[in-house]
Structure 1
Amino acid sequence: MRRARRLALVGVASGMALLVLAPVLGRGFVLVYDMVFAPRQWLLPDSVGLGSALPRSVPADAVVALVTSVLPGDLVQKLVLLAALAAGPVGAGLLVPTRSVGVRVVAAVAYGWSGYVAERLFIGHWPYLLAYACLPWVARAALALRGDGKQVPVEPAPDNDEQAAGEQAADEQAAGEQAAGEPQRVAVGVRACGRRVALLVLASAPAVLTPSGGLLAAAVGVVCGGRRGLLVTVPVAVVLNAPWWVPAVTHPGGGLSAVEGADAFAARGEGWGGVLVSLLGLGGIWNAEATPASRANPLVPVLVLAIVAVAALGWREWSRRCPGARGLVLLGVAGIALGALGASGLLGWVVANVPGGGLLRDSQKWVAWWALPLAVGFALGAGAAAGTVRRHGGLVLAGAAVLPVAMMPDLAWGGWGRLESVQYPRDWYDVRSVLLEDRRAGDVLALPLSAFRRFGWNEGRTQLDPAPRVLPRTTVIDDTLFVSGRPVAGEDERAARVRAVVERNGDLAALGIGWVLVEHGTPGPPTERVTARLERVYQGRWLDLYRVPGPVATHAYPTAPRAAVLTADLVALATVALGLLWVVLPAGSLSASGTRRRE
């Protein structure tokens, strides 16, 4: 029965993921806003936090670079998206303390078909989707560390046959333990403890690809692990997140962000319910273009409040059966509060004056903490309602499972055409070959100066400039962002200096720039004045590549200490590898066998 319940959840979750991603599963790349994958991404200093910019995409870029050296980039992208959209619902369903497949399915659908998933998918935040998918698994792994007899959510008593089998197995285990010697009992305890720690490490690993994802997972682990688990959950979070926090803390730029970012990236209301109701419904992202049109339906705020009310009814039962339930609810409330405070003056002061405070901007992302208590509570509340009308209980659960889909049908089929797979033009491959074969030193400057592009070959969709991920050299882009026409200053001091040199047509080689890439078919200021005195080495329909004359400076910008950053990377990688080996290999079995032989 347990295997059948898991298979049912996997089937529902896989079906939802395919319903969303089916149109884009062919060859090609989905390039939209921040979601930019390349045929092959190269391992560069920026990939591990040794560039001039703050490590916002560390170690995600390094991991993608390593994987795409083996697999095609478009295949990697599709596998990542499928895993992100399917794993979260399965984990949410398994987290519900019930034997009812229907109740678990309700939780899976509520978690997987949400405003958070839709908006983060449409804006291209695939690492956030991975972190979101990890949270239920992190919760389950951390609950196992409590050691208070409630390692995982407690299910209701089994039927008579299952109870008899369970009691027999328990008796056999007790007899075995009594017969075993003390060394074997110690070995069994060590193996069990090690496995729990290893599962927490593996559940957290995909989430730590970016700083925000790592913090989302770390908070869930700490809350679910409780006081007894702090000796594990805190060190695991510190070590796994070291690849980004070490270069961030030691970055010479100071780690401050523009105060305008707090207001520009603040959560927004999606209907008459305002910001708070939008956040309660797991929506409210700052970018209106990434919001499904169905979120503006006047019925949505009413249905959101109804779902929250049903969830509140389920929390009492959840708290009785799961030791970490109350903490997760409080953490979810904290996520709502952070989202609502996004436009406040206090948050703006933190962003502008506290190193690393920029992590708090785009405050809506923290409502990911609210998703688990909302989904599990709603499922248990729906299950309680179904229990009061036993004849029609199945219809109640079916209606609860369909409700999230009916509220937001335009998540299906790639957001009704929002997402589409396209191919990179041949120019990108040719320019890459030139840079690989030419030994001319220097980094690449991408023009026109803008962080985002709208290429004709991608149907004019807004996308992040792909040059830093496609080209095999460090590529400088202007990191100034424009939100609703308002500029938000970037954090990369080198990019600011390069922009100033471009504006006065100065010496780019003195800043370590040996190449200039001009991208055509996208809006931006003219580039002729800059390229007039450069040597063109490649000309294509979409790209031109120029060589900058004169000696190119080396070490043109300060970076974080190389030794500290690489040490943090190696320690985190070794921790994940050890966790994987501990789960896959029969750790400790040899010593146990040896004990039995001696006896």
Structure 2
Amino acid sequence: MTVDEGWTRPEPSPWPARLLALVVALLVTGPALAPGFVLLRDMVFVPRQDLDLDALGLGGGLPRAVPVDAVMAVVTTVVPGEFVQKAVLLATVYAAVLGAARLVPPGPDGRRGIAAVVAGLVYGWSPYLAERLLIGHWTLLLAFAALPWIARAALRFRDGEPRALPRLVLACAPAALTPTGALLAAGVVLALVGRRHLLPAATVLLVLSLPWVVAGVLHPAGGASDPAGVAAFAARPEGWGGALLALLGTGGIWNAGAVPAGRGSVLLPLVTLALVALAVVGWAGGGARRGPGLRLLVLGALGLVLALAGTVPGLREGLEVVVRSVPGGGLLRDGQKWVAWWALPLALGAGLGARRLADAVRARDVLPGAAGLVAAAAVLLPVIAVPDLVWGVGGRLQAVDYPADWERVRDVLADDEHPGDVLVLPFGAYRAFGWNDDRPQLDPAPRWLPRPTITDDALVVDGRVVEGRTSVPARWRPSATTRRRSPSSGWAGCSWNGARPAATSPTR
């Protein structure tokens, strides 16, 4: 199917897909919409964030959160961070479901029907979304949710529609908030935009990526990363199907603590095989597998290769060389995140497959209502694949309030006229607070306090240390847990509210 045959054709009845997206978004994010903040692993929002050197990517650590930290600093001067987080989570799930539903090619009657419902659920009610929520990668999910909209905008730009380039910029902007998101967006754009429009599209992507590109070039570490992260962050099996089958179902995240309990079902690999088979049926029918469809399939295959590389001897060693030697190569360590490229053709193919099977059953007139049963089974498949995604992934996205001590510490530091950075104790990147039910979370201090903070960004995974890239001298680390104030270094130590290192290190 070509662009002219309807990939971007408006839906005559848009409200069913909108209602589906809203219902799914509310079911997934329900607990997070209660008063307070969801603080879980890397998902840390604060009431108000300052625009400092770290937010601009010019501080001690690698510019992994550029420019999103700067954007959050600007936004939270106007809107409290609590409401920003709720809006982001709700909009992310809504956009993911609706985007995939709108991108699936329409049928001969110009409607998307059951194909839109299945595509939206396979994409927006997916292991990828559940696992990245539990590990707290909300910025990656912003990019994930934007990919269907980026694809539509790229196809419109390729087709020469009026105002297509501004639409492409708007669609790519949420993804470009982080380096990984920008690369995910670039893959979709370059796959679909066509040779004639490649240069202006690439220029748009480069301009949107300049904040993190420039920050990475200026960073003293040169953007290199610890190659030990390749094995530590490699995709892991879910059930008896192995890593490849987990990735085919868009699961397989490296952190066992970020996997929904339902993903351990003995039937899970069979459900994954059924979804992949449904997608094969969809892409095998008609001309949908040509043109944009073929290019999305190739991009999805590339995503699977990158996701699997850390588990395959030979590829793993090559990846370690890239991570160690190439600036920015560390972006490839967490391979499973590239499954986002595969999730898109999987969802679209499943939607097309559901329509094709339902039409075939209807045409044969085997039994009254048989086509409806086929459609219902296709709708249930993605729900069965992640049954506990409902209500905040089984209630794990609970909102809590920051204790008043955090505001008092912030005020004290803001009023302190003495120069110096803040050494946060205990010395480590992750915390487990009693007021947050001892859930592991990234330390909020670097974003919440009004001064630059000294933290250790080394990560321990199953006893294996993956070094970070902060500017903290190694000789200071052993004594960091006892240092309270050092006039010579200009550091001030902070420890409060029973803060302690995360109860358990991230595990595979």
Q: Common fold, TM-score beyond 0.5?
A: yes
Report the counterpart of residue 348 of structure 2 in structure 1: 376
Aligned-pair CA distance for 1:307: 1.3
Letter in 1 for 2:73: A
Q: Does the alignment pair 1:59 with 2:31?
A: no
Report the counterpart of residue 26 of structure 2 in structure 1: 18
Aligned-pair CA distance for 1:322: 6.7
Please say which structure displays the higher CA radius of gyration.
1
Report the counterpart of residue 32 of structure 1 in structure 2: 40
Aligned-pair CA distance for 1:71: 0.9
Aligned-pair CA distance for 1:317: 4.3
Equivalent residues of 2:11, 2:102 under 8 A apart:
no
Aligned-pair CA distance for 1:316: 3.7
Q: 1:511 to 1:212 in 2, by over 3 A?
A: farther
Q: Does the alignment pair 1:440 with 2:418?
A: yes
Q: Where does 1:125-164 land on structure 2 (aligned, <5 Å)?
A: 125-147=137-159
Letter in 2 for 1:453: R
Residue number among 314, 319, 328 corresponding to 1:356 in the alignment: 328
Q: Using the alignment, how far apart are the partners of 2:285 and 2:20 within structure 1?
A: 24
Identity %: 52
Residue number among 439, 464, 484 corresponding to 1:461 in the alignment: 439
Q: Using the alignment, how far apart are the partners of 1:372 and 1:112 within structure 2?
A: 10
Structure 2 residues without counterparts, runs of 5 or longer: 1-8, 363-368, 503-508
Report the counterpart of residue 190 of structure 2 in structure 1: 222
Q: Using the alignment, how far apart are the partners of 1:451 and 1:389 within structure 2?
A: 56
Of 393-402 and 44-53, more deviation after overlay is shown by 393-402
Report the counterpart of residue 46 of structure 1 in structure 2: 54
Report the counterpart of residue 413 of structure 1 in structure 2: 391
Letter in 2 for 1:245: V
Q: Using the alignment, how far apart are the partners of 1:340 and 1:119 within structure 2?
A: 17
Q: Does the alignment pair 1:484 with 2:462?
A: yes
Report the counterpart of residue 375 of structure 2 in structure 1: 397
Q: 1:226 to 1:512 in 2, by over 3 A?
A: farther
Aligned-pair CA distance for 1:498: 4.4
Report the counterpart of residue 89 of structure 2 in structure 1: 81
Aligned-pair CA distance for 1:392: 2.6
Of 277-286 and 253-262, more deviation after overlay is shown by 253-262
Of 431-440 and 69-78, more deviation after overlay is shown by 431-440
Letter in 2 for 1:208: A
* Alignment deviations for residues 445-484 of structure 1 (CA, whole Å, 9 cap, x no partner): 1011110000000000000001011111111211111112
Of 118-127 and 504-513, more deviation after overlay is shown by 504-513
Q: Using the alignment, how far apart are the partners of 1:7 and 1:387 within structure 2?
A: 23
Secondary structure of the equivalent of 2:480? helix
Q: 1:2 to 1:205 in 2, by over 3 A?
A: closer
Secondary structure of the equivalent of 2:46? coil
Query: Over aligned residue pairs, what C-alpha RMSD do you find?
Result: 2.0
Q: Using the alignment, how far apart are the partners of 2:61 and 2:249 within structure 1?
A: 34
Equivalent residues of 2:304, 2:342 under 8 A apart:
yes
Q: Using the alignment, how far apart are the partners of 1:318 and 1:244 within structure 2?
A: 42
Letter in 2 for 1:302: L
Secondary structure of the equivalent of 1:519? coil
Q: 1:509 to 1:257 in 2, by over 3 A?
A: farther
Secondary structure of the equivalent of 1:374? helix
* Alignment deviations for residues 564-587 of structure 1 (CA, whole Å, 9 cap, x no partner): xxxxxxxxxxxxxxxxxxxxxxxx
TM-score norm. by structure 2 comes to 0.91
Report the counterpart of residue 202 of structure 1 in structure 2: 170
Residue number among 263, 278, 281 corresponding to 1:295 in the alignment: 263
Residue number among 99, 103, 111 corresponding to 2:115 in the alignment: 103
Q: 1:404 to 1:442 in 2, by over 3 A?
A: same
Q: Using the alignment, how far apart are the partners of 1:501 and 1:298 within structure 2?
A: 48
Aligned-pair CA distance for 1:511: 4.2
* Alignment deviations for residues 144-174 of structure 1 (CA, whole Å, 9 cap, x no partner): 1223xxx7xxxxxxxxxxxxxxxxxxxxxxx
* Alignment deviations for residues 379-405 of structure 1 (CA, whole Å, 9 cap, x no partner): 101110000111432332222112211
Report the counterpart of residue 494 of structure 2 in structure 1: 517
Q: Where does 1:250-399 land on structure 2 (aligned, <5 Å)?
A: 250-317=218-285, 319-320=287-288, 323-343=291-311, 344-390=316-362, 391-399=369-377
Of 57-66 and 313-322, more deviation after overlay is shown by 313-322
* Alignment deviations for residues 406-464 of structure 1 (CA, whole Å, 9 cap, x no partner): 22111111111212110000100001111112221111110111100000000000000
Q: 1:512 to 1:93 in 2, by over 3 A?
A: same
Secondary structure of the equivalent of 1:5? coil
Q: Using the alignment, how far apart are the partners of 2:167 and 2:446 within structure 1?
A: 34
Of 204-213 and 404-413, more deviation after overlay is shown by 404-413
Equivalent residues of 1:501, 1:508 under 8 A apart:
no
* Alignment deviations for residues 77-99 of structure 1 (CA, whole Å, 9 cap, x no partner): 00000011110111111111111
* Alignment deviations for residues 89-129 of structure 1 (CA, whole Å, 9 cap, x no partner): 11111111111322111110111000100000011000011
Q: Which has more helix, going by share of residues?
A: 1
Report the counterpart of residue 233 of structure 1 in structure 2: 201
* Alignment deviations for residues 279-306 of structure 1 (CA, whole Å, 9 cap, x no partner): 0000000000100111111211112112
Secondary structure of the equivalent of 2:422? strand
Q: 1:499 to 1:316 in 2, by over 3 A?
A: same
Equivalent residues of 2:150, 2:172 under 8 A apart:
yes
Secondary structure of the equivalent of 1:45? coil
Secondary structure of the equivalent of 2:477? helix
Q: Using the alignment, how far apart are the partners of 2:284 and 2:153 within structure 1?
A: 22
